[in-house]
Amino acid sequence: MSVETTVPAGAVRSDAPMSWTPPSARERLALLSRTRSVTIVGASDNPARPSYFVATYLLSSSQYRVNFVNPRLTSLLGHPVYPSLADVPGEVDLVSVFRKHSDLPDVAEEVVGVGARTLWLQLGLWHEPVAQSATDAGLDVVMNRCVKIEHARFAGGLHLAGFNTGVISSRRRLKP
């Protein structure tokens, strides 16, 4: 099984054949390149949580307008946190989801309802019926991938240790 099609433990599989296929690396680069805003659903103010780490990275190392959704918070890293996607002002472009599998159908319905272009399910999240319904609604779907890791990989800021080492290289950087 290739890395592109690895399904994480706990994944929600579909009995029906799927027409959804994971986007290739080039397709993910194109998707991130056209993205103007990232909305993190399930954002946490706990620095030990992956959503917090992704939020700090996107705010400091990307050109994206970053929004947060969590009905239990009012602010995060100096930015407002909205109770739902419908409350986020402006265009909702890419929605990065940090929620449990059982919440994903409702989240996907909300993502479609606000007119987002991309549903991005973070590492460990794989829900085939959700991917199929979002694809059928015209959204791009990425599952079991971290938006921070993908952005850093394409921007040249990801080393084997997972951070920018500051090493000067002659390799051309791709601009996500």
Q: What is the pLDDT of residue 79?
A: 97
Residue 19's CB is within 10 A of a number of other CB atoms, namely 9
- Both tokens of 41, joined, read 């659903």
Return the SS3 of 53: helix
Q: Cα angle vertex 16, ends 11, 17, to 5°?
A: 90
CATH code of domain 21-155:
3.40.50.720
> Which pLDDT score, from 0 to 100, does residue 13 have?
79
Q: Residue holding tokens 């085939």? A: 128
Phi and psi at residue 140, to the nearest 5°: -80, 145
Any bridge partners for residue 95, and if so which?
39, 119
Return the domain boundaries, the chain: 21-155
pTM equals 0.84
Beta bridge partners of 67: 39
Query: What pLDDT is attached to residue 3?
Result: 41
Per-residue pLDDT of the chain (176 residues; tens, 9 = 90+): 444 456 776 677 766 666 678 899 999 999 999 999 999 999 999 999 999 999 999 999 899 999 999 999 999 999 999 999 999 999 999 999 999 999 999 999 999 999 999 999 999 998 999 999 999 999 999 999 999 999 988 887 655 445 555 555 556 666 66
